[in-house]
Amino acid sequence: MSKYEVVEKFVSINGEGTKAGQLAVFIRFKGCNLNCKYCDTKWANEQETPSQPMTEKEILDYVLSTGVKNVTLTGGEPLLREGIKNVITVLAENNLNIEIETNGSVYLDKIRKLHKENVTFTMDYKLSCSGMEAAMNLDNFNILSSNDTVKFVAGCREDLIKAKQIIEKYNLYGKCNIYISPVFGMIEPEEIVNFMKENVMNDVNMQIQLHKIIWSPDKKGV
């Protein structure tokens, strides 16, 4: 049985996405293949960061012990973990709602082919302010379904323009859930709302990360 390096596990509310405000169990895996300029969990990707090796069963047992039905697998980049399909399968077969937060660079096909209706993706599209846009796997747009989410994190007006272009180019309206969030401290939420109004962006959600409002923006385990 494989072991996975987990740097955090905790229960909180989901701070963003379609289940924002609902309780969720978070499993944060160590390591990422990107280095976004605004990343608020860089510590989880550092080699010296302490982690707890956990098997699929240990992860499942922890999740079930909480009594919470929503599970968010995050990182880092959880889909880089060898054998992660086994973790996803075990959790999905226990009637849990599995959300996979993924950075947009990893091809999602192998996970989608698990054919688990209770497994959804929240996939970032990294805009220019991240410094990582070139790493995006554009084939993923063909895999997303109506239960999945594309999240754009914008830091400037140019990012908003690019987000609109991507939404239109890949016909995301009605295909999946669409969210635009501000890079904390870089752009005012009002500017995003005004841009959405100017461009009549129906079916797009502007969202502020709840956990950065409720707690200190740098607080871990929330």
Q: What is the structure's pLDDT at 184?
A: 84
Q: How many domains does the chain have?
A: 1
pTM of the shown model: 0.94
Q: What is the structure's pLDDT at 35?
A: 95
- CA angle 122-123-126, nearest 5°? 140
Q: What is the structure's pLDDT at 177?
A: 98
Let me know: does 11 contact 23? Beta carbons within 8 Å.
yes
Q: What is the structure's pLDDT at 221?
A: 73
Residue with tokens 């895996």: 29
CATH number at residue 179: 3.20.20.70
Q: What is the structure's pLDDT at 213?
A: 76
How far, in whole angstroms, is CA 104 from its chain's centroid?
A: 9
Q: What is the structure's pLDDT at 222?
A: 64
Q: What is the structure's pLDDT at 141?
A: 98
Look up the domain containing 131 and give its range.
3-214
Query: Which portions of the chain are predicted below pLDDT 50?
Result: none
Asked whether residue 163 is assigned to any structural domain, the reply reads yes
Asked whether residue 220 is assigned to any structural domain, the reply reads no
Asked whether residue 221 is assigned to any structural domain, the reply reads no
Asked whether residue 161 is assigned to any structural domain, the reply reads yes
Residues with Cβ < 8 Å from 134, sequence gap 6 or more?
Answer: none
34, 143, 24: which is closest to 91 by C-alpha?
24
Asked whether residue 222 is assigned to any structural domain, the reply reads no
Q: What is the structure's pLDDT at 45?
A: 86
Asked whether residue 26 is assigned to any structural domain, the reply reads yes
Asked whether residue 117 is assigned to any structural domain, the reply reads yes
Q: What is the structure's pLDDT at 112?
A: 96
Q: What is the structure's pLDDT at 210?
A: 81
